[in-house]
Amino acid sequence: MSKTIKSIVLSEPENIFIKKIPYPLKPQNHVLIKVESVGICGSDIGAYRGTNPLVTYPRIIGHEIVGTIIEAGDGLPENIKVGDRVIVDPYIYCGTCYPCSIGRTNCCESLKVIGVHIDGGMQEVCSHPAKLVHKIPHNFPVEQAPLIEPLTIALHALHRAKLIPGEHVVIIGAGAIGLMAALVAMQYEAIPILVDIIDSRLQHALVCGVPWVLNPEKDNVKDEISRITRGRMAEVVVEASGANQSIQASLDYASFSGRVSLTGWPKEATQLKTNIITFKELDIRGARTSAGEFQEAIELLATKKIDSTVIVSKIITLEEIPSMVKELSQHPDKYLKINAVL
């Protein structure tokens, strides 16, 4: 009888369950990973709801994957061997198209994201390209380690905006990525202003040390930013919510010659006042996933410069993932971040 493993499968939108699948076969340039922990991401919830047009079904979900190498493959980095704990880079690129040729592999013309375009890592053992794994310290708490991947998203948004010390950065959206962007901004000696409509998230951000929080339903955000920045407005704005209205507001929050980094993914097109972009000479930059940020993310969390425990709301088991995905779909604001330990 062939060996099987457990996996988390979406057969179709809103139908998620644990399924036994055959033990994975490994191509020559892949590694086999005994999965130890996974994170539940917004993209997993979108796949469950059926709102992500890139997802096809049936699909094993999950792209925030941590585990131990149990079988090596061609292309494995020299510093990694069997027995090492790694986190996967879930963005599989071709390496030959124009974006790949200039190092922007996250913009690969044929990019495949595990758990979206192809099967993901919410399974007891997974196969993954050997070149796309990053070693993490064995003393790094395994239940916190999946947070490395979403931290790369926050880092990429700030890098795209070229944030420097002393600048004010308005971050719209106080979810896990927005809060981590604010905490990183403080590490960069910048001044974050976090904007969200959920008071509990803003209060949590204050406890985490974020100096300024604003709620558009209670505050005149534009006036408050002007007051905080002494009339200049924010040199950098990071839009991490994906809400159309917030994307539009980002132009108002930015200073003259400001930079706007768009990392939230709106469900539909957003109309922008291009006269403001021209008048202020704003730089508008997309920030899609990440490219080259994994080592910095590992260092920030491993050294506790960013405290993972203030981001991860709850730790669950593999068996609890289907019910938690359903709960997060119904109550997306109840938790900041959920990880599962297998």
Per-residue pLDDT, averaged over 48-65, amounts to 95
Give the residue with greater pLDDT, 28 vs 332: 28
Residue 8 pLDDT greater than 70, yes or no = yes
Contacts of residue 78, Cβ cutoff 8 Å, sequence gap at least 6: none
In contact, 117 and 54? CB cutoff 8 Å = yes
Average pLDDT, whole number, for the chain? 96
Distance set, CA 178 to CA 99, 160, 162 (Å): 26, 15, 16
pLDDT over 90 percentage in the chain: 95
pLDDT of residue 250: 97
Q: What is the CATH number of domain 154-286?
A: 3.40.50.720
299 phi/psi in degrees, rounded to 5: -65, -45
pLDDT digits (tens, 9 = 90+) for 103-139: 999 999 999 999 999 999 999 999 999 999 999 998 9
Q: Which CATH architecture has domain 4-144+312-341?
A: Alpha-Beta Complex (3.90)
Task: Return the percentage of the chain with pLDDT > 70, whole number.
Answer: 100
The two tokens of residue 316 are 């669950």
pLDDT value at residue 257: 98
Cis peptide bond N-terminal to 146, omega within 30: no
Residue 22 belongs to what H/E stretch?
strand 15-22
- Give the pLDDT of residue 268: 86
- For 185-238, the DSSP string reads HHHTT-EEEEE-S-HHHHHHHHHTT-SEEE-TTTS-HHHHHHHHTTTS-EEEEE
pLDDT of residue 1: 52
The reply to whether 4-144+312-341 and 154-286 are identical in fold is no
**Is 0.85 topped by the overall pTM?**
yes
Mean pLDDT of 180-207: 98
Mean local confidence (pLDDT), 48-68: 95
> Taking the domains of the chain in order of start, what are their residue ranges?
4-144+312-341, 154-286
